[in-house]
Every structure is written in structure tokens, then in C-alpha cells.
Chain A
Amino acid sequence: MAKYLLLKHYRSSHAIAKDELVPMDQWTPDEVTAHIDFMRRVADELRERGEFVDGQALSPEGTFVRYDGEGRPPVTDGPFAETKDLIAGWMIVDVDSQERAYEAAARLSAAPGAGGEPIHEWIEVRPFLGEPPVVTE
């Protein structure tokens, strides 16, 4: 088993697959509800398969923070009105193979958007660095 982080980007260069993505606030309320229901259903499916580890949606507003030297307050930058690459949410799955991780990501990407059509958004799949095996010789 291996863990993978599925990153749901929003507005990244990869986020637009087929057509320009219609912003969510311009969908009908039913379309928004359908999208959210779909995401919850996928999480439930993964839970039922014994593969779900964790998942969260993230607030779109974020701030950059960095260390500025001993005894000084941290430096902050942002929030920015327009970010080029925004992470909308993430999910962690624990699956038997990379293929299975891709399958789960593709399922997430089938979430419906405007007009009830799948939005085909790109999901970034990143393997976790795990523990080394005991036997290596």
C-alpha cells in the first residue's frame, strides 16, 4: 500500500482542460450542490473501499509567511486577489498501486460543473515518501 496526495488545483495552467472553466459562482445553485454532493460521494466510495485517509477543502484566501530573523515578527505577504495557482482542496488515499491512485484521481476529476457536465479538471497526484523496507540486500 502506498499513500498519495490528490491535489485539486483551481485556476492553474492545468486547471483548464477542455474549455475555459466557468467560475463556480456563475453556476446555478443546483449545479453547485451537485458538484459538492459528487465530491462527498467520491469520498464515501473511497471510505467504503478502505482507501480514504483524509481530505479537506481549503479557503481560497491564503497568506505567505516567512521567518525574518531571531526576535523579529514573521513577515507576511498577501492575501492576493488573483493567484495564478490556487489549491482548492486535497485528499489523501492509501491504495494498492499507482494505477489505482490515478483511477481515484480521474474519478474526482469527473465532478460535474456548469450544465452538469464533468469539468475534467486536472488533479495532481503526488506519492508520499514512506518508510524504507526492512530487507534491502
Chain B
Amino acid sequence: MLNLVVKRLLWGIPVLWLVLTLTFFLLRAAPGGPFDQERELPAEVEKLIAAKYQLNQPIVQQYGHYLKSVIQGDLGPSFQYVDYSINELITLGLPVSLKLGFYALLLALLLGIGLGMVAALYANKWPDSVAMITAVIGISTPNFVIAPMLIMWLAVNWQWLPVGGWSGGHWSYLVLPVITLSLPYIAAIARLVRGSLLEILNQPFIRTAKAKGLSQKAMIFKHALRPSLLPVISYLGPAAVGLMTGSVVIEQIFGIPGMGRYFVQGALNRDYTLVLGVVLVIGLMMLLFNLLVDLLYRLIDPRIDQNSPLSVGNG
């Protein structure tokens, strides 16, 4: 187990390096720069600014510099938010995004597993049909379609909830973003649970349990549920990645000051260090989360081969 963790973390270093390098050169290949303004600055001033942020050096040298400071844990100064370092910005934005993502994932798991169980228990009866039709619609409706509609009804027309904003993460500001962010995952998890639970309920060990007169409740919660959650766990990896990208849109719509918004704003403003910092943190989160999923998977299903260190959770 420890072996796996170490191997995966070591493996993460070249991956993160690749992410950083790709992003760095992509950013620099882009037209425009961080200090372009509508009113043109005198050439001397521009030179001074470029010198201050070391943008006048050859690009390879800048790259070397940046890499060195990243290794030392310093993500550099922001080009747009004067007086802020990227480290500070990320310390502000990351907890917000994490909170949003955590509640969304929690809601998706609870509702998804619940709905999937109901659908499997009433397989091919009306609750099943209703649940599965809702699931297909849920998967097929992008969150940027649902979000404005919910805002219109719940926030604008009925004024139950705030339209947007964050307000330090007060629960009323969390409700709408969390619901919209989690809907597609509720649907996907419900479908996974239904499928695997149906398959498990046909297995011989369940038949035996039934023959021995076990109540349906005990049968499901003690025997069938645990193995049927395996596909859900391997789905958690891709789901987390989806939540991170999904929250780019959600943060944009609801005006939430998280990583996703920094990313889009940073890219539009050519705030090189901010974009690099956000991409690096997201890459790291993906890596850690996938590792966590793999560990969880091995915990629930000890049959998994311990010696295949790189079998990634998804796929």
C-alpha cells in the first residue's frame, strides 16, 4: 500500500512538470501580453515593466527561473492583481472551490446512490422508469442551462435564495451552485448503482441469502450494496475532474471567487503566473484524488492486484 503511494507520487512529478511546461509555452505563444492596454504606454515605460517582471529575458531563461521558484514553493507575483502573490490568491480561492466541490460530490453520492437503489429495487416498474428517464435528462442537460433557469425561478421570481455571490460561504449562497454542479453526477451515479445492484442481486450468494430467509433490507444493506458500489468508486476519479471543470462555469455564473474564475479571468488577462498556478494546483488535485480513489478501491475490494501500481481508476 505504502509502496503504491510512493510510486504514484513519484510518477506525479513528471506529469506535473509536463502540465507546467505545456501551459507555460502555450501561454507565451499566445498573442497579447499581460500589460497591453488600450492607451499605449511609452516604449521606455513598457521596457521598465517588462524588466520588473523579467519578461525581457530570453524565454528559456524565464522558464528556468519560473521552474526554480515553483520547486521552492513560490508561484510568483500576479501580473494583474497588484500586491498579490499567486500563493496568496490560491490560498483565497482554493478553499472556496474545495467547499463547493465537496458538497457537490457529497450530494451526488447520497442522492445518486439512493436513487439508484430505488430504481434497482423497483426494476422495470414505474419508480425505475421515472428515475432512469430523469437520469438521462440530467446527464444530457448542461449545468449552464440549468443554472440560469434555477436562478430565474428560485432567486429572481420567488426570491428564496440569493442570485449569486459567496458571502463567506453562508449556506444560502451554497444551495444553488451545489445543486447545479452535482445534478449530472447524481444522474450518472444513479445509473451506475442501478446497473451494478441489479447484477449483484442475480448472483448466487444473494440467492443463498434469500433462501435462508434474510429480510430484503438486511440483504441489500449487508450484502449487496457494498460490492455494487465498486463502479461508483472508480467513477469518482472522472467525476472529480468533471466537477473541477464544471465549477469553472458555475463559479462564473454565480460569481463565486474560486479557482475556476481565477483561471478564466487570468487567461483573458494574460496573467501568466496566475494561469500557471491554477493549472498546477488543479493537476495536483487530480493526481491526489485519483490516488485516493485507488486506495479506496483496494480497501473495498481486496481482490485488486496490489502489484499494478499504475492502474488508474477510470477507464
Are A and B part of the same complex? no
Q: Which residues of A contact B (CB under 8 A)?
A: none
Q: Which residues of B contact A (CB under 8 A)?
A: none
